[in-house]
Chains A and B, each alone.
Chain A
Amino acid sequence: MTTSQKHRDFVAEPMGEKPVGNLAGIDEVRGKKLEERGFDKAYVVLGQFLVLKKDKDLFREWLKDTCGTNAKQSRDYFGCLQEWCDTFL
Chain B
Amino acid sequence: MAAAAASAPQQLSDEELFSQLRRYGLSPGPVTESTRPVYLKKLKKLREEEQQQHRSGGRGNKTRNSNNNNTAAATVAAAGSAAAAAAGMGVRPVSGDLSYLRTPGGLCRISASGPESLLGGPGGSSAAPAAGSKVLLGFSSDESDVEASPQDQAGGGGRKDRASLQYRGLKAPPASLAASEVTNSNSAERRKPHSWWGARRPAGPELQTAAGKDGAVEDEEGEGEDGEERDPEAEEPLWASRTVNGSRLVPYSCRENYSDSEEEDDDDVASTRQVLKDDSLSRHRPRRTHSKPLSPLTVKSAGGRLETSAQGGGGLAMNDRAAAAGSLDGSRNLEEAAAAEQGGGCDQVDSSPVPRYRVNAKKLTPLLPPPLTDLDSTLDSSTGSLLKTNNHIGGGAFNVDSPRIYSNSLPPSAAVAASGSLRINHANHTGSNHTYLKNTYNKPKLSEPEEELLQQFKREEVSPTGSFSAHYLSMFLLTAACLFFLILGLTYLGMRGTGVSEDGELSIENPFDETFGKIQESEKNLMMNTLYKLHDRLAQLAGDHECGSSSQRTLSVQEAAAYLKDLGPEYEGIFNTSLQWILENGKDVGIRCVGFGPEEELTNITDVQFLQSTRPLMSFWCRFRRAFVTVTHRLLLLCLGVVMVCVVLRYMKYRWTKEEEETRQMYDMVVKIIDVLRSHNEACQENKDLQPYMPIPHVRDSLIQPHDRKKMKKVWNRAVDFLAANESRVRTETRRIGGADFLVWRWIQPSASCDKILVIPSKVWQGQAFHLDRRNSPPNSLTPCLKIRNMFDPVMEIGDQWHLAIQEAILEKCSDNDGIVHIAVDKNSREGCVYVKCLSPEYAGKAFKALHGSWFDGKLVTVKYLRLDRYHHRFPQALTSNTPLKPSNKHMNSMSHLRLRTGLTNSQGSS
Binding site for B on A (CB under 8 A): 1-3, 8-9, 11-13, 48, 50-58, 61-62, 65-66, 71-72, 75, 79, 82-83, 85-89
Question: Could you tell me if B41 and A61 are in contact, using CB atoms closer than 8 angstroms?
Answer: yes
B130 at interface, CB cutoff 8 A: yes
Task: Check if B461 is an interface residue, CB within 8 A of chain A.
Answer: no
Among A51, A58, A79, A88, contact of B99 (Cβ-Cβ < 8 Å):
A58
Which label, helix, strand, loop or mixed, suits the secondary structure of the A interface? helix
Q: Are B42 and A56 touching (Cβ within 8 A)?
A: no
B251 contacts the other chain (CB 8 A): no
Q: Could you say which residues of chain A place their CB within 8 Å of the CB of B50?
A: none
A-binding residues in B (CB < 8 A): 27-30, 32, 34-35, 37-39, 41-42, 95-96, 98-99, 102-103, 116-121, 123-124, 127, 130-131, 134-135, 137-138, 158, 260, 262-267, 269, 377-379, 409, 774-776, 779
* Shortest beta-carbon contacts, A-B, top 3: A54-B120, A55-B118, A12-B138
B382 to chain A, nearest CB (A): 12
Whether B377 lies near A71 (C-beta < 8 A) is: yes
| Contact A48 B119, beta carbon cutoff 8 Å | no
Asked if residues B127 and A53 are in contact (CB atoms below 8 Å), the reply is no
Residue of A nearest to B28 (CB): A53
The one of B117, B131, B776 in contact with A53, judged by C-beta atoms closer than 8 angstroms, is: B117
Shortest C-beta distance, B342 to chain A (Å), equals 32
Q: Are A54 and B123 in contact (CB under 8 A)?
A: yes
A82 interface neighbour in B120, B260, B263, B409, Cβ under 8 Å: B120
A56, B124: Cβ atoms under 8 Å? no
Question: How far is A55 from B681 in the complex, measured between Cα atoms in Å?
Answer: 77
Residue of B nearest to A61 (CB): B38
Which residue of A is nearest B127, CB measured? Answer: A86
B37 to chain A, nearest CB (A): 6
Q: Assess A62 versus B38: contact at CB under 8 Å? Given A53-B27, A89-B127.
A: yes
Asked if residues A51 and B124 are in contact (CB atoms below 8 Å), the reply is: no
Contacts of A13 in B (CB 8 A): 774-775, 779
CB contacts (< 8 Å) of A85 on chain B: these are 120, 123-124, 127
Residues in A whose Cβ lies below 8 Å from that of B98: 57
Q: Can you list 7 A-B pairs with a CB-CB distance of less than 8 A?
A: A52-B29, A53-B118, A54-B123, A56-B267, A58-B99, A85-B127, A86-B130
Given A56-B267, A57-B99, A79-B267, A87 and B262 contact (CB-CB distance below 8 Å): no
Whole-angstrom distance between the Cβ of B905 and the nearest chain A Cβ: 35
User: Considering residues A8, A50, A79, A83, which has the most beta carbons from chain B within 10 angstroms of its beta carbon?
Assistant: A83
Q: Which one of B102, B135, B260, B775 lies within 8 Å of A55 (CB-CB)?
A: B102
Known: A12-B775, A52-B29, A56-B409. A2 touches B269 (CB 8 A): yes
| B39: A residues at CB distance < 8 A | 58
Q: How far is the CB of A18 from chain B (nearest CB, A)?
A: 11
Partner pick for B267 among A8, A51, A75, CB 8 A cutoff: A75
**CA separation between A2 and B265, bound complex, in Å?**
6
Contacts of B379 in A (CB 8 A): 57
Q: Smallest distance from the beta carbon of B97 to chain A beta carbons, Å?
A: 10
- Give me 15 other A-B pairs in contact (C-beta within 8 A), A12-B137, A57-B409, A58-B118 excluded: A2-B260, A2-B265, A3-B264, A8-B137, A13-B774, A13-B775, A52-B35, A53-B27, A53-B116, A55-B119, A56-B99, A61-B38, A82-B119, A82-B120, A87-B135
A48 to B29, CA, bound (A): 10
A-B interface pairs (CB < 8 A), number: 119
Name the residue among B29, B32, B779 with the largest chain A CB count within 10 angstroms. Answer: B29
Cβ of A3: which chain B residues have Cβ within 8 Å of it? 137, 262-265
Q: What are the residues of chain A within 8 A of B95 when measuring CB–CB?
A: 57
- Return the chain A residue nearest B126 by Cβ: A86
For residue B134, which residues in chain A have a CB less than 8 angstroms away from its CB? Answer: 11, 83, 86-87
Kindly report which residue of chain B lies nearest to residue A76, judged by CB atoms.
Answer: B266
Cα-based distance from A15 to B39 in the complex (angstroms): 28
Bound form: Cα–Cα A62–B99 in Å? 14
A55 touches B120 (CB 8 A): yes
**Which residues of chain A are within 8 angstroms of B262 by Cβ–Cβ distance?**
1-3
A13→B103 CA distance, assembly (Å): 29
Most buried by A among B28, B30, B264: B264
Residues of B within 8 A of A75 (CB): 266-267
Specify the chain A residue showing the minimal Cβ separation from B270. A2
Contact assessment for A51 and B35 in the assembled complex, using a CB-CB cutoff below 8 Å: yes
Q: Which chain B positions have C-beta within 8 A of A50?
A: 120
The interface residues of chain B lying within 8 Å CB-to-CB of A61 are 38, 41-42
Residue with the highest number of chain A CB atoms closer than 10 Å, among B117, B127, B138: B138
Q: Choose among A48, A72, A89 the residue that contacts B34 (Cβ–Cβ < 8 A).
A: A48
Taking a contact as CB atoms under 8 Å apart, the answer to whether B121 and A53 are in contact is yes
Is A86 within 8 A of B123, CB to CB?
yes
In angstroms, Cα B119 to Cα A50, docked, is 11
Q: How many angstroms from the CA of A80 to the CA of B701 in the assembled complex?
A: 65
Tell me the complex Cα distance, A3–B131, Å. 17
Give CA–CA (A48, B38) in the complex, Å: 12
Contacts of A56 in B (CB 8 A): 99, 118-119, 267, 409
Q: How far is the CA of A6 from the CA of B563 in the complex (A)?
A: 113
Complex: how many Å from CA A1 to CA B116? 34
Q: What residues of chain A lie closer than 8 Å to B123, measured between beta carbons? A: 54, 82, 85-86
Q: Identify the closest chain A residue to B34 (Cβ).
A: A48
Of chain B, the residue at the smallest CB distance from A13 is B774
Contact partner, A8, options B29, B124, B138, Cβ 8 Å: B138
Q: Which chain A residue shows the least CB distance to B131? A: A87
Q: How many Å lie between the Cα of A51 and that of B262 in the bound state?
A: 30
Using Cβ atoms and an 8 Å threshold, which residues of chain A touch B99?
Answer: 55-58
CB-CB < 8 A to B260: which residues of A? 2
Question: What is the distance, in angstroms, from B645's C-beta to the closest C-beta of chain A?
Answer: 56
Contacts of A55 in B (CB 8 A): 29, 99, 102-103, 118-120
Known: A3-B263, A52-B35, A58-B38. A9 touches B120 (CB 8 A): no
CB <8 Å contact, B96 and A57 = yes
Complex interface: chain B residues within 8 A of A53 (CB): 27-29, 116-118, 120-121
Bound state CA distance, A48 and B266, in angstroms? 22
Using Cβ atoms and an 8 Å threshold, which residues of chain A touch B102?
Answer: 55
Instruction: Tell me, in angstroms, the Cα distance from A56 to B377 when the chains sit together.
Output: 15
Complex contact B118–A54 (CB within 8 A): yes
The residue of chain A having its C-beta at the shortest distance from the C-beta of B268 within the complex is A75
Residues from chain B with a CB closer than 8 A to the CB of A66 are 34
Distance of B154 from chain A, by nearest CB (Å): 10
**Cα-based distance from A13 to B134 in the complex (angstroms):** 11
CA distance A72 to B362 in the complex (A): 12
**Chain A residue with Cβ nearest B378:** A71
> Complex: how many Å from CA A88 to CA B116?
19
Which residues of the other chain, B, contact A87 by a CB distance below 8 angstroms? 127, 131, 134-135
Shortest Cβ gap from B683 to chain A (Å)? 52
Q: How far is the CA of A58 from the CA of B774 in the complex (A)?
A: 32
Closest CB in chain B relative to A10 CB, distance in Å: 9
Q: What is the chain A residue whose CB lies nearest that of B263?
A: A3
Complex Cα–Cα for A48 and B37 (A): 13
Distance between A71 CB and nearest chain B CB, rounded to angstroms: 5
Q: Indicate if the CB atoms of B35 and A62 lie closer than 8 Å.
A: yes
**Residues of chain B contacted by A58 (CB below 8 angstroms):** 35, 38-39, 42, 99, 118
**How far is B131's CA from A86's CA once the two chains are assembled, in angstroms?**
6
A72 to chain B, nearest CB (A): 8
List A contacts of B116 (CB < 8 A).
Answer: 53
Residues from chain B with a CB closer than 8 A to the CB of A52 are 29, 35, 38, 118
A14: shortest Cβ distance to chain B, in Å?
Answer: 8
| Least distance between B414 CB and chain A CB atoms (Å) | 13
CA distance A57 to B103 in the complex (A): 11
B762 nearest CB across to chain A (Å) = 33
**Least CB separation from B118: chain A residue:** A55
Within the complex, what minimum Cβ distance (angstroms) separates A58 from chain B? Answer: 5
Which residues does chain B contribute within 8 Å of A86, judged by CB atoms?
A: 123-124, 127, 130-131, 134, 158
CA gap between A68 and B266 in the complex, in Å:
20
A66, closest chain B residue (CB): B34
CB distance from A5 to the nearest CB of B (A): 9
Whole-angstrom distance between the Cβ of A24 and the nearest chain B Cβ: 11
Q: What's the minimum C-beta distance from B57 to chain A, rounded to whole angstroms?
A: 26
Q: Is the CB of A83 within 8 A of B264?
A: yes
